[in-house]
Amino acid sequence: MPLVTQPAPTFDSKAVVNGEIVELGWNKLHEGKWLTLFFYPLDFTFVCPTEICAFSDAAERFEKIGAKLAAISVDSPFSHLAWTKTSRAEGGLGKMNIPLIADLNKNIARAYDVLLEDAGVALRGLFIIDPKGVVRHATINDLPVGRNVDEALRVIEAFQFVEEHGEVCPANWRPGEDSMKPDPDGSKEYFAAHA
């Protein structure tokens, strides 16, 4: 069964937060806010640091819309910590503004159905979880292609708009653009304006 519309699988795990290894419980991670949880294959690889650094650098943008971020892989917290102590110029992460969650037993990746069992790594899964703990969006990329920070932000803003206004968001919607009434007659107003 797809995770979208279902309660997000919860977990407690070790993570690197602010340069330290800590126990990170689901309640502390989620805190009743929007959460973008993204899986990546492995520490000390190639596409992964570009994604993690891009999301970490955008953490303040997520905070401004009431959302949190966390990255997760099947590596140990010690590997995560070592990677943050490696400079970006050398393929490392440097200082992180988001938690790096350890999933050494691979149970979290299994719960989110992103684990490649034979390879022992997670696909590039990205899950947007609402304040009630429900998965509202999921994308899963194969290993060689990274994700888009701006698209993750756009999707959260669209779901927030829907929650607040009760209208739906057409393709490529951005804040401030026209939305649609979710019924056959009401939607005609949008279609007429954008024909």
Q: Which of 48, 74, 102, 121 is catalytic?
A: 48
Q: Distances in Å between the alpha carbon of 161 and those of 83, 113, 165, 180?
A: 37, 28, 6, 11
CA distance 181 to 166: 8
Q: Is 53 a catalytic residue?
A: no
Residue 151's identity, in one-letter code, is E
Q: Indicate the SS3 state at residue 139.
A: strand
Q: Name the phi and psi angles at 86, rounded to 5.
A: -100, 135
User: What is the rounded (10 degree) CA torsion for 28, 61, 129, 106?
Assistant: -70
Q: Write b or e for each residue in 75-88: b if 16 or more Cβ atoms lie within 10 A of its Cβ, otherwise e.
A: bebebbbbbbeeee
Q: Return the number of other C-beta atoms located less than 10 Å from residue 34's C-beta.
A: 22
The neighbouring-strand residues paired with 141 are 124
Which residues are part of the catalytic machinery? 48
